[in-house]
Structure 1
Amino acid sequence: MELLIKKKGIPLAIYSNKHTIYKSSEGNITSFGVMMDKLGIEMIFANTSQAKGLIERYNSTAQRRLPNDIVRFNIKDYDQLNIWFNDFYIKYLNEKFAHLPVDPVYEFVELTENYDLNLVFTISNTRKIVEGNMFSYNGYCYVPYDKNGKVVKTKTSTEITVLYFVLENKVRMKYIGIIYDCTLKGTNHKNRQVLINVK
């Protein structure tokens, strides 16, 4: 999605074969759905068996052939894979499955120069501060610090918002409207914090 937006702009709509990509089976909006809402992208879901079948064949082809083609083209690392996939493999998939739209109008909104995609592609969760000014997220313990490198001290049990920035692969804390960087301090297994030395 990041590559698409940077190359062509923000699409007005995305076509999917499953509504659960946007809402869970319980009816709650997914993290992906939140990101699409932030961008103003409409989610369109395939309602006919023919349309669903086309998308499923696309996914099946990509998933079945991709591992073999990675070996066949001697791809060695993720950086090489990204270049090969975006410059070659997407073209192959589009030639095989793409259909021209009935309405040829270009349905992308140009990305402004100062638009920060990092603020869009975030996953938000609520956590509470534990002893040592730490909070846990995905099995790891983090300590927030301010722009001067000092630990942000908050009371134990204070509720904060944890932001996972997908594009940067970074965890940050939001508290009283301010976003703080965080340092990994340990692991969290069944409420037992194990501290580690992080240089």
Structure 2
Amino acid sequence: MGLIAMSERDLQRIEVLSKVIAGRMTLVSAAHVLDLSERQVRRLLNRISTDGAASIRHKAIGRPSNNRISDGVRDYAVTLVRECYADFGPTLAREKLIELHRISVAKETLRQWMTEAGIWVSRRERKKRVFQPRGRRDCFGELVQIDGSHHWWFENRGPKCGLLVYIDDATGKLLHLRFAGSENTFDYLHATKAYLQQWGKPLAFYSDKHGVFRSTHASEKDRTSGLTQFGRALYELNIDIICANTPQAKGRVERANQTLQDRLVKEMRLRGIDTIEEANAYAPEFIADFNARFGKQPRNPKDMHRPLADHENLDGAMCRKEVRTLSQALTLRYDKVLFILDPTDLSRSLAGKKVVVCDYPDGRLEIMHESFALPYRTFDTLRSVHRAEVVDNKRLDDMLSVVAELQAGREQQRSKGGPRRTGQTDHMFGIRDGSTGNGYQKRGRKPRTDYMNDPAVIARREKALLRQPAAE
């Protein structure tokens, strides 16, 4: 029974010492093999002859460690974690035990305690969420999945940009592709307008929870109050939009993005395409080849796309609409610009009433009342205050490129400035203008030549240069 609990080292010692006892090995050879002194080998031989082979085991085996944490401290720590920090990980729970309860315990020890108590389950043992496969829709145009993929589509030949993808759920065919600087409302309106002109109105679009598609301030009474600009445009055209709860739910377009990031990037590399305009011109050719290779036939041959009704205005729907109240002076503000309506008979009657500002993706802007466009002029088109624009994460790359250009322009303006002020620090060396490190040059007075060429002055100047920190 004792041999079962022995380590490999103990078993090796028993084997070697048995050979010494049997006379097949000398004591010196045994000491060399076991890496022990001859004196220690004699002690082990005496122990075997007195108490048997089981006495070779280390005496501390089976005994509790002298440095172990008492059971009371362990139970108290586990109780605190269970009552106060049940949803904390071991690392954060350990920090709180030290900070608030003065209980210092190693992170891995606490992890072991929490695991044994059933409070913590390692990531490897957690059950992954199961996503059941969903069958394709039956008809073409019944459900169209849309998504934006921000990627280095031109590799190192051009800027990072977004690709708006429209793919049919029933057939897996690409219906529209549009490259854009970022994933924003205007580009989605522009792309959706082109899609509707080519295919007609689908039954519904299927998207993620991006801010272009979904608003978090919906009203239970008014269906249109919580719509985004894109959702409002689809509502005017009687098209529904469904937001998926997880990326896996719209796996059709997610997998298509992976294929596009491989095939489309390489196709554009072979053709030398490095601008958004060239990529949009090439998109129809790629779509035709993609659909011929990967497209499926729908189970039902019926096309669910619907034509635009006579009362539906596609151009009027696919724009940004904001409601403004017209002042008594026939003015309104939109996008930090003051608009003044021409004093016509219609505009005079609208003082104090609401009008609609229609901002189109192509840059046009109209002020509408019912179906009438009101003539206007702008008063202050220059913005006096430049505030940082609040952007979401999918527009961050686009904004950073704009910021970099603005900063480069400011640096050029700074370098082309007028005369340097007295005492201004030199950009390169950190030495004050006209000085040698121990004073300022007076305005309009040139330094003395003999003073500037003085060896002592030159030495002090060199020391000042050496004291400057090196550029990182």
TM-score, with normalisation over the residues of structure 2? Answer: 0.32
Counterpart in 2 of 1:161? 356
CA distance in 2, matches of 1:111, 1:176: 20
Between 1:134-143 and 1:31-40, the stretch displaced more is 134-143
Superposition RMSD on alpha carbons, in Å?
4.3
CA distance in 2, matches of 1:76, 1:130: 48
CA distance in 1, matches of 2:270, 2:330: 50
Structure number, greater radius of gyration: 2
Structure 2 residue 223 is matched with structure 1 residue 25 = no
Counterpart in 2 of 1:103? 300
SS at match of 1:53: helix
Structure 2 residue 307 is matched with structure 1 residue 116 = no
Counterpart in 2 of 1:3? 194
Q: Structure 1, residues 42-94: CA drift from partner, whole Å, max 9, x if none?
A: 224446764433323434555788678666534476654433223x2333555
Structure 2 residue 192 is matched with structure 1 residue 13 = no
Counterpart in 1 of 2:233? 35
Give the alignment partner of residue 174 of structure 1, picking from 357, 364, 368.
368
- The amino acid that maps onto 1:36 is L
CA distance in 1, matches of 2:293, 2:216: 32
Counterpart in 2 of 1:56? 254
* Structure number with higher strand proportion: 1
Structure 2 residue 271 is matched with structure 1 residue 73 = yes
CA distance in 2, matches of 1:190, 1:130: 22
Between 1:50-59 and 1:126-135, the stretch displaced more is 126-135
CA distance in 1, matches of 2:233, 2:330: 29
Between 1:105-114 and 1:56-65, the stretch displaced more is 56-65
Measured after TM superposition, the shift of residue 19 of structure 1 is 7.3
SS at match of 2:235: helix
Query: Structure 1: which 5+ residue stretches go unaligned?
Result: 192-199
Measured after TM superposition, the shift of residue 113 of structure 1 is 7.6
CA distance in 2, matches of 1:59, 1:146: 52
Query: Structure 2: which 5+ residue stretches go unaligned?
Result: 1-191, 219-225, 386-472
* Structure number with higher helix proportion: 2
Counterpart in 2 of 1:90? 287
Pair 1:17–1:23, CA change in 2 (3 A): closer
SS at match of 1:90: helix
Q: Structure 1, residues 91-111: CA drift from partner, whole Å, max 9, x if none?
A: 355567755444331011124
8 Å Cα contact 1:141/1:188 also seen in 2: no
SS at match of 1:160: strand
* Identity level (%): 22
CA distance in 2, matches of 1:131, 1:73: 58
Q: Structure 1, residues 160-180: CA drift from partner, whole Å, max 9, x if none?
A: 3212233x4311112366322
CA distance in 2, matches of 1:80, 1:17: 28
- The amino acid that maps onto 1:170 is R
SS at match of 1:11: coil
SS at match of 1:56: helix
SS at match of 1:10: coil
CA distance in 2, matches of 1:69, 1:78: 14
- For this pair of structures, how many residues does the alignment match? 188
CA distance in 2, matches of 1:105, 1:44: 22
CA distance in 2, matches of 1:189, 1:31: 24
Pair 1:40–1:157, CA change in 2 (3 A): closer
8 Å Cα contact 1:58/1:93 also seen in 2: no
SS at match of 2:373: strand
8 Å Cα contact 2:208/2:247 also seen in 1: no
User: Greater relative contact order (Cα 8 A, min sep 6): structure 1 or 2?
Assistant: 1
Q: How does 1:136-151 map to 2 (within 5 A)?
A: 136-145=333-342
Pair 1:155–1:77, CA change in 2 (3 A): same
